Amino acid sequence: MMEISNDFYVKCNCCSHVTLIETDCLECNTSTHERSMGEEIEYDFDGEICCEKCGTWINFCIRGYEYPVGVFNFSDCDCNGGEFVSEPTVGIKYDFDDNYSDYAYDEYIKAESILEYHKEQIRNMTSREFEFFVGSIFEKLGFNVKITKATRDGGHDIIATKATPIPFTLIVECKHWGEKHKVDVSVIRSEEKRGKKGGHFSTNHHK
């Protein structure tokens, strides 16, 4: 579920009068589109106001996109008859129970320990076989797994989602390299910018 983070202001193009828009008053409509990594959910927050000073009608739409499910992709907005004083911010609304630990990290550690146990077997795999092997581990841990099409570096390899006890999505990238090829810290930093919850699985250690 997405939400607009804060109330915002709209300025009339005719008289420059500024009106406060309370986000709780906006209705949200959703639609879904099938894409390569599963469904993309579009959230549309539509609104219409009449300027209190000059009577001009102003309508606006703020959109947020969730893709893959559970991950913020991007947002955009438009305003007719006026303009946003500051562009509204859209984000995913997460509900957490304080009694739960970080399940995403716990599941990552479980998968990592299984990989370590099978490290000799993994060395003889192709890169694609390694991706399917990692995917099978997450399936055994109760995840719904989607392995993306084979591409050059830069894409996500696995999308793993879990509904309980807390719904979350893991974005996983797999690296199958030779023994002398160490994983540079820049690889980890690039992944950090691309998702709130993710995992990086490699046949080698980090340097």
Residue 130: which H helix or E strand, with range?
helix 127-140
**What pLDDT digit, counting tens, does each position of 49-108 carry?**
999 999 999 999 999 999 877 788 899 999 999 999 999 999 888 666 555 556 667 777
pLDDT category of residue 131 using cuts at 50, 70 and 90: confident
Amino acid letter for position 96:
F
The whole-angstrom distance between residue 61's C-alpha and the CA centroid of its chain comes to 21
Mean pLDDT of 7-31: 95
Q: Which residue has the higher pLDDT, 69 or 204?
A: 69
pLDDT category of residue 190 using cuts at 50, 70 and 90: very low
Does residue 199 carry a pLDDT above 60?
no
| Percentage, residues of the chain above pLDDT 90 | 35
Tell me, what's the pLDDT at 146? Answer: 85
Amino acid letter for position 166:
I
Nearest alpha carbon to residue 33 among 72, 5, 68, 6:
68
Question: From CA 143, how far away is CA 135, in angstroms rounded?
Answer: 9
Evaluate the CA torsion angle 167, 130, 123, 207 in order and state its sign.
negative
Other beta carbons within 10 angstroms of residue 121's beta carbon come to 10
CB 133 within 8 A of CB 117: no
For the domain made up of 103-202, give the CATH fold: Trna Endonuclease; Chain: A, domain 1 (3.40.1350)
Mean per-residue pLDDT over the chain, rounded: 79
* Residue range(s) of every CATH 3.40.1350 domain in the chain: 103-202
